[in-house]
Amino acid sequence: ARPIRLTDYRAPDFVIPETRLAFDLHPTQTQVKATYRIERRGAADAPLVLLGERLILKTLRLDGVEVAPEAYALTPECLTLSGVPDRFTLEIDVEINPQDNKMLEGLYMSSGRYCTQCEAEGFRKIVYFPDRPDVLSKYTVRLRAPKAGFPRLLSNGNLIDSGEEGTFHYAVWEDPFPKPAYLFALVAGELDVLEDRFVTMSGRTVDLKIFVDPGMSARAAYAMDALKRSMRWDEETYGREYDLHLFMIVAVRDFNFGAMENKGLNIFNASLLLADAQTATDLDYERIESVVAHEYFHNWSGNRVTCRDWFQLCLKEGLTVFRDQSFSGDQRGHAVQRIKDVKMLRARQFPEDAGPLAHPVRPAAYLKIDNFYTATIYEKGAEIVGMLKTVVGAETYRRALDHYFETHDGTAATLEDFLSSFEAVTGQDFSPWLKWYVQAGTPVLSLSATYDGDTQRLTLTVSQMTPPTPAQAHKAPVPIPVRLGLLSGAGAPLSFRFAGETVPEALFVLTEARAQWVLEDVTEAPVISALRGFSAPVKLTLTEPEAHRFARFRGDPDPFNRWEAAQSLAKALILDPHGAAADYAEALRATLTDPTLDAAFKALMTGLPTEMDLAQSLTPVDPAFIHTRRKAFKAELAAALKTDAEALYAALPAETTFSPDAASAGRRALRNALLDLIVAAPDSDADRSEATSDQAGAQAVRRPEGEAPLERDAAKPLSAKQKIAKAHYHDARNMTDMMAGLSALSQIHGAAYQDALEDFYARFKSEPLVLDKWFAVQAACPHPETLSRVRRLITHPDFDRKVPNRWRAVAQAFAANNPAIFHDASGEGYAFIAEEILSVDRFNPMTAARLIEAFGGFKRYAEPHRGLMQAVLERILGTEGLSKNVAELAGKALA
């Protein structure tokens, strides 16, 4: 297949100011009638090319006259009409089959309801259209369906007409805002609704409606609350007001992604919308809040100002992620939010940037744009916006964004347009920032310092280097903002003089490959605290004594760098086969007992780098070494902190009433982090002797039919930590604590774990979202038995590959969250995931392709992993009938 290239962009030859669609909804034979008012904008002889896939063309009329088959050309991907006038009306009738559509793009059925997903290229699976984001049209949509079974008929904009036709009924929707086809949506079916209202800053009342499965409307209350907070926040922070009289959200079970910002009719994966204490964890609440905000914020960053072409995807996604991260920071605390965002960036985007799937935030070419909804486009794109805000300051940033929204409202814009708004309000040249968008790879920022006690001068020598990435051997320097402060040897903040002022911290921007920064009045040889708040998405190298990192761990006033110091120390100690935990335990004890720190921050400080984090710092990667070393270090740390952790845990009793607010969630996070530490400690001698003499307390193992026995664990009595984890699980009054208990039991494994799994299944077997967690926790269990367990899980009657949430709960959880077992030296984990990718690729290529990422970094791994992963990728690529999506990513991974 031929790649689509940014350099091939040409403005459309035709525009379609008006689109009328009429849907006669039927599970297997939906009739779609489109009427377009079309105007020529390009060359007089340019043909009209409309894109369409999997459509049955019924009739085609131009200005009311049927077009004869010889007057148009039809291929499986487009419909071309030559010799058309400069202005005309085109009517097209097609038939589609929503029930058979398991790709979940275009019009499909989920739990007996009709719904759509058009971004990026799904509209062409509904009807022939110039399906590209720079063709904006005003839509009027008529939906018709049987009254029975489809009482709700929803589309974008405002309802302007409705009525009955015998056993059928219809609704007509009009969206006054011209939009690209990817923002079109319809939903039809039986749905309950939760309603509310919002009065905008100019006094307009907006009706808010969240549609959910019958009986579930109470679970939409948190999403509704998050929506209202998002609407107010966007007014207060960006001056952006909602523009229709109605805003609707619909939750569906079958969805390839998280959610979709269709104009006035957002469609959500139910897992990111429905929550109550009994079924959702704090992490679910946090995600719901951020995704509701994200999709709402798209109303301006994406919908009112859209993208000229899909190469500009990060124009809407990077900006909107930055906006939702800022919102979450305002709601939940900026320090904790920043740490979580950086953890995510490092876990997902840094490996992408370091491997064969690396691509610029604005890619130059693609085969399937669906493959580019990546951490690079989203998260690195957000980091660039954050850096721009850091360098211009909050007020100027707001002026630049006002300029951007006002200048490009109602148009399809580019990244150059975005940067020119910064130029317009500052009068400065922002073209160097374009390099961040066009260059892949994570820059390495190196810093070294020399201190002259006589002159009290600190000279910092900084340099940057971005490693080569596929198709980009040489890189130019990028602007790197570096927030920097100093600490004394005792760990106290140390001010200094820079640019004529005495300051506690300064912002430097490295624009060249190398520079020197001189800090005056530095009264002692300092500890350097660089890149505070993670002011740029780079890898910092700074050669310094371990004591400096401990000083930052104990007292950096910048919470991000405090956490960062702890993480980098833990990484070094874990990867050193002789690394000991004693000093680290001391510093962590001081953190945990510091009354000035909040619980959510302490919870983050308690967490060690993940095995995936550690894999990024070791070449070649040896997954078994990482697993064993991390476990040993954690056990040593847990043993050193046993008394403190147990006392702190006991002092934080489980709350009897649940509130999802950030402070309560922080307390739960800390209690659950302590539990995780407690169960990591080796059993004490006392525990062991009690366990052997306490045979009467042994738990009987009930095994589900067909399950292999839990080998040696079966007859063992519970250890002290198993008892704690078991009590944590059984006493839990909310899903957060319950999952923490279950996950702690999964770490220990054994009979209590199996019992808890059975109990969990019995309680939640009719709750699909909770059952996804049950599948995921088992797939992520780091016990060797998981290799056979995942194979059993896919034969479970509740397993269904056609439901992406359920499939990801097994396949993704195993491949992404269980490195020790996925990378088992037998290669069985790789084989399992390869089979799953190929099975799902037959009907849902977009979802299947996402899992190729699991093999992306194979060249960095030690043998036998490297060879085994390569063989699996080759097998995938050699499979007949492979989708373009999987072929593109598997091909790149192998290149």
Query: Which residues of this protein are in contact with ligand HT7, per CB under 6 A?
Result: 117, 119-120, 256-257, 259-261, 294-295, 298, 317, 370, 373, 846
DSSP secondary structure string for all residues of 714-731: TTPPPPHHHHHHHHHHHH
Instruction: Assign 199 to helix, strand or coil.
Output: strand
Q: Which residue's CB is nearer to ligand HT7, number 256 or number 606? A: 256
Q: Cα(128)–Cα(16) distance, rounded to whole angstroms?
A: 13
| Active-site entry in 105, 119, 261, 295 | 295
Interface map 701-740 toward Zn ion (x if CB under 5 A): ----------------------------------------
Six-digit token string for 270: 């139910």
For the CB of residue 254, give the shortest distance to ligand HT7 in the complex, in Å. 12
Q: Cα(177)–Cα(168) distance, rounded to whole angstroms?
A: 29
Q: State the SS3 of 292-318.
A: HHHHHHCCCECCCEEECCHHHHHHHHH
Report whether 246 contacts 209 (CB < 8 A): yes
Six-digit token string for 439: 């260059």
Q: Which residue's CB is nearer to ligand HT7, number 219 or number 294? A: 294
Report whether 464 contacts 432 (CB < 8 A): no
The answer to whether 295 is a known catalytic residue is: yes
Compute the C-alpha angle 769/774/775, nearest 5°.
Answer: 95
Q: Which residue's CB is nearer to ligand HT7, number 16 or number 293? A: 293
For residue 272, what are the CA distances in angstroms to 47, 198, 211, 216, 262? 43, 22, 13, 14, 16
Q: Which does 244 bind (CB under 5 to 8 A by kind): ligand HT7, Zn ion, none?
A: none
Q: Which does 120 bind (CB under 5 to 8 A by kind): Zn ion, ligand HT7, none?
A: ligand HT7
Q: Which does 383 bind (CB under 5 to 8 A by kind): ligand HT7, Zn ion, none?
A: none
Q: Which does 119 bind (CB under 5 to 8 A by kind): Zn ion, ligand HT7, none?
A: ligand HT7
Query: The tokens 């309603």 sit on which residue?
Result: 195
Q: Cα(800)–Cα(507) distance, rounded to whole angstroms?
A: 52
Q: Which does 725 bind (CB under 5 to 8 A by kind): ligand HT7, Zn ion, none?
A: none
Rounded to whole angstroms, the maximal C-alpha distance in the chain is 94
For the CB of residue 319, give the shortest distance to ligand HT7 in the complex, in Å. 11
Site residues for Zn ion, window 258-317 (CB under 5 A)? 317
Q: Which does 234 bind (CB under 5 to 8 A by kind): Zn ion, ligand HT7, none?
A: none
Q: Which residue's CB is nearer to Zn ion, number 282 or number 317? A: 317
Q: Which amino acid does the sequence have at 155?
A: S
Q: Which residue's CB is nearer to ligand HT7, number 316 or number 642? A: 316
Q: Which does 257 bind (CB under 5 to 8 A by kind): Zn ion, ligand HT7, none?
A: ligand HT7
For the CB of residue 377, give the shortest distance to Zn ion in the complex, in Å. 10
Interface map 308-327 toward Zn ion (x if CB under 5 A): ---------x--x-------
Residues in CB range of 69: below 8 A, 6 or more apart: none
Interface map 435-454 toward Zn ion (x if CB under 5 A): --------------------
Q: Which amino acid does the sequence have at 356?
A: P
For the CB of residue 262, give the shortest distance to Zn ion in the complex, in Å. 12
Site residues for Zn ion, window 320-379 (CB under 5 A)? 320
Query: What single DSSP character describes residue 356?
Result: T
Phi/psi for 195 (5° steps) reads -115, 150
For the CB of residue 261, give the shortest distance to Zn ion in the complex, in Å. 6
Q: Which residue's CB is nearer to ligand HT7, number 117 or number 747? A: 117
Chain-centre distance of CA 574, in angstroms?
A: 28
For the CB of residue 17, give the shortest distance to Zn ion in the complex, in Å. 26
Asked if the peptide bond before residue 864 counts as cis, ω within 30 degrees of 0, the response is yes
Report whether 810 contacts 790 (CB < 8 A): yes
- Beta strands 78-81 and 72-74 are antiparallel
For residue 141, what are the CA distances in angstroms to 151, 403, 570, 845? 17, 33, 58, 29
For the CB of residue 289, give the shortest distance to Zn ion in the complex, in Å. 15
Q: Which residue's CB is nearer to ligand HT7, number 289 or number 295? A: 295
Q: Which residue's CB is nearer to ligand HT7, number 349 or number 754? A: 349
Six-digit token string for 163: 């009525």
Q: Cα(269)–Cα(144) distance, rounded to whole angstroms?
A: 25
DSSP secondary structure string for all residues of 568-632: HHHHHHHHSTT---HHHHHHHHHHHT-TTS-HHHHHHHHPPPPHHHHHTT-SSB-HHHHHHHHHH
Q: Cα(403)–Cα(489) distance, rounded to whole angstroms?
A: 46
Q: Which does 373 bind (CB under 5 to 8 A by kind): ligand HT7, Zn ion, none?
A: ligand HT7
Q: Which residue's CB is nearer to ligand HT7, number 256 or number 747? A: 256
Q: Which does 668 bind (CB under 5 to 8 A by kind): ligand HT7, Zn ion, none?
A: none
Chain residues that interact with Zn ion, rule: CB under 5 A: 317, 320
Catalytic residues: 295
